Structure 1
Amino acid sequence: MTVMAERMSQMSVVEFEAIAAAAPETVTLEFIDGRIGVKKVTDGDHSTIVSWLARRCMQMRPDLDLYQGQGLRVDAYREGRAKPDAVLAPEAHFAGHGEWADPDGALVVVEVTSYDSDTDRRGRHEKPTAYGQCGIPVYLLIDRDSCTVTVHSGPDRRIGGYRTIQTAKFGEKVLLPEPMGIELDTEILKNYVR
């Protein structure tokens, strides 16, 4: 068993939230693993992928809403703040919540990779750890770099991450397990990569 030394945080959550509130609309800020992360403004293909997912999920599960831009307090993971590309939750679940909502009730968090330098660290390593530690049932990573869809399920609240990780190439069918219980045909995603 490896013991990792805890890194010092760049700042407090209160300081981060003040900076994030003052940031221009051209950037999205996150605070994960004690560090500020800057997400690129999404491109048209990125937005199209999220819209495609919204339509598929709403067809199969009309009792759910897909939230874009909803910040989550991933407090279990070093008092973090994450802004997933999308969050699937029961209809009107986040009504009345502020910019940073408690993740309880989120069924699936979705990230679509951007073409930036810290995608690997943030989307493939830190976020699955944070979302799993918060108990979010499913983390869906649509990875435009590797043309894969990775479904993380079975969250591990104790150490973070997920017990089950299944990866499929664009073009294959992917099952989003319970609580979603829907299958996605990912063929169309081939159209939205560079």
Structure 2
Amino acid sequence: MTVMAERTSQMSVEEFETIAFAAPETVTLEFINGRIGVKKVTDGDHNTIVTWLARRCMRTRPDLDLYQGQGLRVEAYREGRAKPDAVLTPEAHFAGAGEWAAPDGTLMVVEVTSYDSDTDRRDRHEKPAAYGQAGIPVYLLIDRDSCTITVHSVPDRKVGGYRTLHTAKFGEKVSVPEPIGIELDTEILKNYVR
């Protein structure tokens, strides 16, 4: 049996929220796994990918909203705070919610990788663990480094992460399972990588 060492939190969630509130709009701060993290400012290709996904979701599922910039409270143990690149919910789900909303009712979170040194740790390891623990049904990772799209589904609330992963190369069709139930033709994503 492997025993994992418990990481000491850098600060309380209240301290983090105070810092995040005062941060300039040029940075996005998150608090995952007890550590504060800075998300790199997005580039035009990154934003184009999120817009592409929004159009696909709205065309296929007009009953849903794709939010950008909505913070979520994740990780029951450490009271984490994440700002996914996009959050798919039923229409008007976050109306009246604050900057850091409960993840309940969230159907899918989306991350598009940035070209920075924290991408591997943050988007491929820490966030799937946090989103799965929060019970979010689907985590969609659009990975510009490997030119792949990975659909994480069947969240594991006890240990975090997801039980089912399906990875496809850009250019393939990808099925996003229920509760979303859409298919994405990812050919165009080849145009938005370095």
Question: Would you call these one fold, judging by a TM-score over 0.5?
Answer: yes
Post-superposition Cα deviations, 1:73-94, rounded to whole Å, max 9, x if no partner, equal 0042521000000000000000
RMSD over aligned CA atoms reads 0.6
Matches within 5 A, 1:39-188: 39-188=39-188
Q: Distance in 2 between matches of 1:122 and 1:75?
A: 14
Q: Return closer, same or farther for 1:191/1:77 CA change in 2, 3 Å cut-off.
A: farther
Post-superposition Cα deviations, 1:66-109, rounded to whole Å, max 9, x if no partner, equal 00000000042521000000000000000000000000000000
Give the letter aligned to residue 46 of structure 1. H
Q: Distance in 1 between matches of 2:193 and 2:125?
A: 21
Scaled by the length of structure 2, the TM-score of the pair is 0.99
Give the letter aligned to residue 128 of structure 2. P
Runs ≥4 residues deviating over 2 A: none
Offset, 1:5: 1.3
Offset, 1:45: 0.3
Post-superposition Cα deviations, 1:95-150, rounded to whole Å, max 9, x if no partner, equal 00000000000000000000011000000000000000010000000000000000
Q: Distance in 2 between matches of 1:120 and 1:131?
A: 16
The answer to whether the Cα contact below 8 Å between 1:32 and 1:77 also exists between their aligned partners in 2 is no
Scaled by the length of structure 1, the TM-score of the pair is 0.99
The answer to whether the Cα contact below 8 Å between 1:111 and 1:140 also exists between their aligned partners in 2 is yes
Aligned partner of 1:34 in structure 2 is 34
Give the letter aligned to residue 95 of structure 2. A
Aligned pair count reads 194
Aligned partner of 1:6 in structure 2 is 6
Q: Distance in 1 between matches of 2:75 and 2:131?
A: 10
Q: Which range moved further: 71-80 or 16-25?
A: 71-80
* Structure 1 alignment gaps of length 5 or more: none
Q: Distance in 2 between matches of 1:134 and 1:168?
A: 25
The answer to whether the Cα contact below 8 Å between 1:77 and 1:133 also exists between their aligned partners in 2 is no
Offset, 1:3: 1.8
Matched position secondary structure for 1:87 = strand
Post-superposition Cα deviations, 1:16-37, rounded to whole Å, max 9, x if no partner, equal 0000000000000000000011
The answer to whether the Cα contact below 8 Å between 2:72 and 2:82 also exists between their aligned partners in 1 is yes
* Structure 2 alignment gaps of length 5 or more: none
Aligned partner of 2:25 in structure 1 is 25
Offset, 1:176: 0.3
